Amino acid sequence: MADMTIIVTGSSGLLGSALVKSLRNDGARVVRLVRRAPRDDDESCWDPAKGVVDPAVLEGAEAVVHLAGAGIGDRRWSDEHKREVVRSRVEGTRTLVGALTALAARPAALLSGSAIGFYGDTGDLAVDESAPAGTGFLAQEVVVPWEAETAPAEEAGIRVVRLRTGLVLSGQGGMLSRLLPVFKLGLGAPLGSGRQYWSWISIDDWVLAVRHILKNPEISGPVNLTAPEPVTNAEFTKALGAALHRPTMPIAVPGFALRTVIGGFAEEGVLTGQRVLPRRLLESGYTFRHTHLNEALAAVL
Ligand SMILES: NC(=O)c1ccc[n+]([C@@H]2O[C@H](COP(=O)([O-])OP(=O)(O)OC[C@H]3O[C@@H](n4cnc5c(N)ncnc54)[C@H](OP(=O)(O)O)[C@@H]3O)[C@@H](O)[C@H]2O)c1
């Protein structure tokens, strides 16, 4: 990784900030594309919505990791927020890919953010990267069009990897941080049926897996970033309670209550799920640091 120049978008987010720190610790030069005025030479301003990015910054970089997009599960799904979730991803990816394909000296690799929401609700069926897109807003209106925007980069000969990320476990943000206050009070409970699968990955493994993908030029196409042992929401609830040494409630939170409080995200982000296997990562020789949920929770909490 040392001596590589890597461009990162969405670098102020949960995943971007952890990745940037790790790459810089390893001696890589990281240039962050930011949506505000740059603060130093390692930042460059872009406006993903207006198609503005400085081609001189992209020229000569070895790789681009594109993570920008409006938060999916951090607020109620109003029609306006849903439009922003889609628009920020589709337009941002289009802006970046348009600039990359127009370069004379293109980066070798584009690792573009995506999500296991691609697979829709898989029920008990375990899926890998060969599974087709599912149904619903997240799959059909967010992830499919978001991934499709990377196609011109592939056609231009850039190695494109679509980072189909699962539920990232971190003590610094994301879904786990939202669950922690409730579980610390001993009020954690299964959500809905509790049988829906949550395909998790520790933040350490997410960063290490992205670094593995950067270093291995034979990896391209969709890659699931999830641990090899997804669990049901009921199992997740038990494990999180145990990790915090707190009891959990014997009665599940009913689906209708979650739909009322959280809105549309409850259905697709919480009450249904995906049972996803990281086939491409394992086949390419990646060794997970945290295979079991208990180890991962102990590490991140
Ligand atoms: N965390 C997870 O569990 C998870 C799971 C599946 C998929 N993902 C995907 O992985 C990517 C990174 O996740 P994350 O958890 O790091 O997300 P995050 O914490 O919400 O950060 C996303 C970053 O995108 C930029 N951004 C925010 N709103 C934007 C907008 N309207 N237009 C353009 N850029 C915007 C911001 O960076 P700047 O202010 O620096 O531009 C923000 O820090 C996201 O696309 C997310 O959907 C995450």
Cβ contacts of residue 86 below 8 Å, gap of 6+? 141, 142, 145, 146
Domains of the chain, with CATH numbers? 5-300 (3.40.50.720)
Cβ of 53 less than 6 Å from ligand 1: no
Kindly report, residue by residue over 137-195, the tens digit of the pLDDT: 999 999 999 999 999 999 999 999 999 999 999 999 999 999 999 999 999 999 999 99
Protein residue closest via CA to atom 48 of ligand 1? 165
Phi, psi of 137 (to 5 degrees): -60, -50
pLDDT digits (tens, 9 = 90+) for 219-233: 999 999 999 999 999
Indicate if ligand 1 lies below 6 Å from the C-beta of 113.
yes
Ligand 1: centre distance to CA 67 (Å): 6
The predicted model gives 273-295 an average pLDDT of: 98
Look at ligand 1, atom 7, and give the residue with the nearest C-alpha.
115
Report the relative pairing of strands 159-165 and 221-225 from DSSP bridges.
Answer: parallel
Whether 174 is in the pocket of ligand 1, judged by its Cβ within 6 Å, is yes
Give the integer Cα–Cα distance in Å for 54 and 99: 8
Nearest CA to 300 out of 168, 156, 189, 122 is that of 168
Q: Is the CB of 71 under 6 A from ligand 1?
A: yes
Cβ burial of 42 (10 Å; 0-12, 13-18, 19+) is middle
Taking the C-alpha atoms of 33, 38, 43 and 49 in order, what is their torsion angle to the nearest 10 degrees? 10
Question: Measured from the CB, is residue 11 less than 6 Å from ligand 1?
Answer: yes
4 contact partners, CB below 8 Å, separation of at least 6: 28, 29, 62, 63, 214
